């Protein structure tokens, strides 16, 4: 698959490999659906390929990396219901890396996601401080800030930035026909995540969420009932993404309307024709949505949290309508 937005990062890694400066530790920062796993796999190919110009993609080493069957490629991921890599996983990996490689050359370990416990980070730091010649660690994470500074400082960092929306849409349309505009409105500009999604289901979800938000703002929503329904479902992350995109669009629209007002400092709120809520209320609501999205994976009472969020919108809309 031609992930066009990874071309620059691939080229940087290849230049480092050809110059004999391939990093013993590489940190790839990539959001979900941005191809961090593909870039990590390419890094492994570069390190393990023994062709004159790696990664050739044709040799036995490259083919085994692509198949996930190379004996000198170690892949470490989350176990069971764990949210972080465990210290015993890092210790086991460290024990493997100190041994000679099966091919007598390089060895690569991919840690994805690289979020780990404090004990695991301390164990990994020892390996980073005294790396075995020829061994490379590739860490993939969406949030480098979750890693200790001592680990980050020892890694070459590569950030995978999202491509322009228009470029993403063009690429997706070459893959297959679908309402990709609606998909990106829900998932954000993440090409691979969009490609794996069900466009029809996301379009329906976005429509349902927009109706809920409109009802909440108008003060006619059964807040408790909707909150309980959303809390029971497995798609809360996507619903919150719909909510965030909705409120972001409202803020953008109001900012454009404000720019068209000749003397904006003389009015307390925007014209009623623009929207029932003012910008300050929408920004506070947006912050609340982001905070709930951050906490949603943690053991919180989701029903109450969602109910509080929807009440914030309902009360804000009702208050603005009375102005």
Whole-angstrom Cα distance, residue 291 to residue 298? 12
Q: How far is CA 134 from CA 21, 86, 95, 300, in A?
A: 11, 25, 15, 45
Which of 2.40.30.10, 3.50.50.60, 1.10.940.10, 3.40.50.300 is the CATH number of 4-161?
Answer: 3.40.50.300
**pLDDT tens across 239-296, in order?**
999 999 888 888 888 888 766 654 444 444 444 444 456 788 888 999 999 999 988 8
Which residues are within 8 A (CB) of 176 and not within 5 positions of it... i.e. 6 or more apart?
Answer: none
Domain ranges within the chain, ordered by starting residue:
4-161, 198-321
Asked if 105 and 50 touch (Cβ cutoff 8 Å), the reply is yes
Tens-digit pLDDT string for the chain (323 aa): 589 999 999 999 999 999 999 999 999 999 999 999 999 999 999 999 999 999 999 999 999 999 999 999 999 999 987 889 999 999 999 999 887 666 667 899 999 999 999 999 999 998 898 888 889 999 999 999 889 999 999 999 999 999 999 999 999 999 999 999 989 988 989 999 999 999 999 999 999 999 999 999 888 999 999 999 999 998 999 999 999 988 888 888 888 876 665 444 444 444 444 445 678 888 899 999 999 998 887 888 999 999 999 999 888 654 443 33
In sign, the C-alpha dihedral spanning 261, 263, 265, 267 is negative
Tell me the sheet residues that pair with 232.
none
59 is written with which tokens? 């040799």
pTM, rounded to two decimals: 0.81
């Amino acid at each position: 698959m031609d992930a066009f937005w990874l071309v620059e990062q691939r080229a940087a890694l290849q230049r480092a490999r050809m110059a004999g400066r391939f990093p013993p530790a590489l940190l790839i920062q990539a959001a979900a659906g941005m191809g961090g796993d593909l870039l990590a796999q390419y890094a492994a190919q570069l390190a393990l390929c023994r062709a004159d110009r790696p990664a050739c993609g044709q040799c036995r080493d490259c083919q085994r990396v692509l198949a996930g069957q190379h004996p000198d490629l170690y892949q470490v991921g989350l176990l069971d219901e764990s949210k972080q890599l465990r210290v015993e996983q890092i210790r086991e990996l460290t024990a493997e890396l100190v041994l000679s490689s099966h091919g007598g050359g390089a060895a690569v370990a991919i840690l994805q996601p690289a979020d780990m416990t404090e004990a695991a980070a301390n164990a990994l730091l020892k390996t980073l401080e005294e790396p075995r010649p020829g061994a490379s660690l590739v860490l993939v994470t969406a949030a480098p800030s979750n890693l200790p500074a001592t680990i980050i400082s020892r890694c070459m960092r590569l950030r995978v930035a999202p491509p322009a929306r228009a470029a993403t849409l063009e690429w997706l349309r070459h893959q297959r026909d679908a309402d990709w505009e609606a998909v990106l409105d829900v998932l954000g500009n993440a090409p691979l995540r969009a490609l794996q999604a069900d466009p029809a289901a996301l379009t329906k979800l976005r429509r349902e969420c927009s109706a809920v938000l409109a009802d909440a703002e108008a003060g006619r929503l059964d807040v408790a009932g909707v909150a309980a329904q959303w809390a029971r479902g497995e798609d809360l992350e996507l619903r919150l993404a719909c909510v965030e995109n909705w409120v972001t669009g409202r803020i953008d629209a109001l900012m454009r309307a404000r720019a068209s007002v000749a003397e904006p400092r003389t009015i307390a709120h925007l014209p009623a024709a623009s929207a029932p809520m003012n910008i300050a209320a929408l920004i506070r609501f947006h912050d609340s949505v982001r905070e709930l999205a951050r906490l949603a994976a943690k053991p919180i009472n989701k029903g109450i949290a969602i109910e509080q969020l929807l009440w914030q919108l309902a009360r804000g809309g009702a208050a603005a309508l009375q102005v």
